[in-house]
Amino acid sequence: MTSVLEPSALTGRPDSPVRRAPDPPKNAPDALEAAFARAHAAADALMAAIASAGSSPEHLDGPQLDRMLRHAQALANRHERIRNRSLEVVRAAREAGCATHDDDGQFAARRLRTHGAETARQARLAQELGNEQPTAAPATVPGAGPATPASTAGQAVPEATPPRPTARAWDTGEISERHAHVICQALDQLPEALGTAERGRVEEELVRWASQMSPDSLRRKARRALALVEPDRDTVDQHHDGIVRAEEEAAWQAAELWLRDRGDGTVQGQFVLPVLQGRMLAKALDALVTPRRLARRANGGALGAPGSSWKDTQIDWAHEKGKAFAELIDHLPTDHLASKVNAVLLVRTDLETLRGETDRVGVTDSGDELSAGEVRRLASNAGIIPVVMGRESQPLDLGRQTRTFSDSQRAALATRYEQCAEEDCNRPFSWCEIHHAAPWAPVRGPDGRVLHPGGGRTDLRNAIPLCGRHHRRLMDPQVTHRVDRDEQGRAVVRFERRTGWTRW
């Protein structure tokens, strides 16, 4: 018996019906309708071939399955690009006065029955990548060899500006919409002074990376894309740290929580957290629902039948984590919530960053990046165990936190302060982190200039309670602050818009 898949279905030969270019219809609308009709017919034939393959899988081996999946993904990517290009046509029609709508995203979302914000984001991407004539259609699976141009018999191909590398790769199905978003975002984050040729080099390399990795991996790698054209490591480190710092600030702006009493003795809710705090919560819950812990409960009769093992019991993990969340809230230390962060993280950093001599991004043991300021803030609050790395990325120390105020110092400070020391803040002392008035480590401005040499001592005279929001604001390069003392000697912190880089 022959294979249920025709060779052209898995090899993408130019003689496939999908590749053949027809004689041009008389006008653009007719051309669109005819092209869509052929595409739908080809999709019908392809789905029928895939269904036949599924009914006789014994005729497909591993390499054929691999090629099928790659072709399917490439076509899915190209379909995303077709939709994206159509959004750019919607914009062009509106600007030409041929359509009466005001907002392209809303117009498309209503007709496509999609989410308005997501469609608007796709419309912005469409405008950025343009709608130039594609240069060639792929004749093989992405990564399997060079593409062969499709037949253009009977067609006059007008001269036009070639598409950008990102658009070209998406046109051929090598990358997905998510990859394209990541690449465009990374290009937007490059310094404005970077030239066109350098930006082009960066984009070409980002596209190459995108064809080899997932969007999430590409996003992490793209944060250091400046290194492709900038030889100075310190400049790249500062740019990388600025990107992560901006993402952290955006995450705090996006944080939200709502709770609703369901009237049956339960409360339903939803929240959005910055990734760091989300990972910390996940770690705490995971620790409460470990199989070993559940096994002890099972053996005690609290889970499953008496004497049964947890391995013999089907566990509803969402239910277990819900109960663990309630248990965690039930044991919150309301006397001093912020004396220690409630989950220990390992953060890879270097000694120079911890001392404030440089700004390099830290990486947690869950793979998330933290800005240098966030690493130092958490270290000063005993919230992390810093895995301090040397120049050769070798651990120099594990768990040494000499910047931390002790619990007894915090208790003594609580007799003098009832709330955050910022002049207008009323957050209680129990929410506060302890800040060094004279910085423990050197403080540097955005241009690298030292604003304060550091050397502050970890003693009560140098301790100021600040809530998390105002402690983070100390790291904002756009503001400065001054510390005054009231008649009792308590510190009062006042923030001001920074006008220069000469004062801490």
Could you say which DSSP state residue 287 is in? Answer: H
What pLDDT was estimated at residue 58?
Answer: 83
* Shared domain check, 452 and 318: no
H or E element at residue 497: strand 491-497
Which domain covers residue 463, as residue numbers? Answer: 345-497
* Shared domain check, 351 and 293: no
What pLDDT was estimated at residue 221?
Answer: 93
* Shared domain check, 427 and 365: yes
What pLDDT was estimated at residue 47?
Answer: 94
Distance CA 442, CA 58 (A): 67
* Shared domain check, 427 and 302: no
H or E element at residue 30: helix 28-55
Residue 41 placed within a domain: no
* Shared domain check, 416 and 453: yes
What pLDDT was estimated at residue 371?
Answer: 85
Query: How far lies 344's CA from each of 201, 347, 349, 356, in Å?
Result: 41, 10, 15, 22
**Cα 377 to chain centroid, rounded:** 21
What pLDDT was estimated at residue 504?
Answer: 55
What pLDDT was estimated at residue 26?
Answer: 58
Weakly modelled stretches of the chain, pLDDT under 70: 1-26, 136-160, 290-315, 330-348, 351, 354-355, 357, 365-367, 378-403, 407-408, 411, 446-447, 500-504
Q: Among residues 330, 354, 369, which one ends one of the domains?
A: 330
- Collapsed DSSP state (helix, strand, coil) of residue 322: helix
Residue 261 placed within a domain: no
The verdict on pTM exceeding 0.85 is no
* Shared domain check, 350 and 326: no
Dihedral sign of CA atoms 265, 270, 274, 275 in order: positive
Residue 468 placed within a domain: yes
* Shared domain check, 436 and 296: no
What pLDDT was estimated at residue 269?
Answer: 93
Residues 6+ positions from 44 with CB-CB distance below 8 Å: none
* Shared domain check, 459 and 388: yes
The string of pLDDT tens digits covering residues 485-497 is 888 788 999 988 8
Residue 11 placed within a domain: no
Residue 103 placed within a domain: no
Distance CA 195, CA 297 (A): 63
* Shared domain check, 485 and 355: yes
What pLDDT was estimated at residue 167?
Answer: 96
* The total number of structural domains that make up the chain: 2
* Shared domain check, 487 and 390: yes
Q: Virtual CA dihedral for 283, 285, 289, 293, nearest 10 degrees? A: 70
Residue 408 placed within a domain: yes
Residue 256 forms beta bridges with which residues? 272
Dihedral sign of CA atoms 75, 78, 84, 89 in order: negative
What pLDDT was estimated at residue 303?
Answer: 45
Residue 340 placed within a domain: no
Residue 59 placed within a domain: no
Distance CA 68, CA 70 (A): 5
What pLDDT was estimated at residue 240?
Answer: 94
What pLDDT was estimated at residue 363?
Answer: 76
C-beta contacts of 199-202 below 8 A and 24+ residues apart: 200/165, 201/228, 201/229, 202/226, 202/228, 202/229
Residue 377 identity (one-letter amino acid): R
What pLDDT was estimated at residue 35?
Answer: 93
* Shared domain check, 400 and 318: no
* Shared domain check, 396 and 287: no
| Tally of CA atoms within 13 A in the half-sphere of 136 that contains its CB | 10
- State the alpha helices, DSSP H only, in 348-504: 351-355, 372-380, 407-414, 468-473
Residue 464 forms beta bridges with which residues? 435
Beta strands in 340-487 (DSSP E): 345-350, 362-364, 369-370, 384-389, 395-398, 432-436, 443-444, 450-452, 463-467, 479-485
What is the b/e burial string over 89-127, where b = at least 16 CB atoms within 10 angstroms of the residue's CB? ebbeebeeeeeeeeebbebbbeeeeeeeeebbebbbbbe
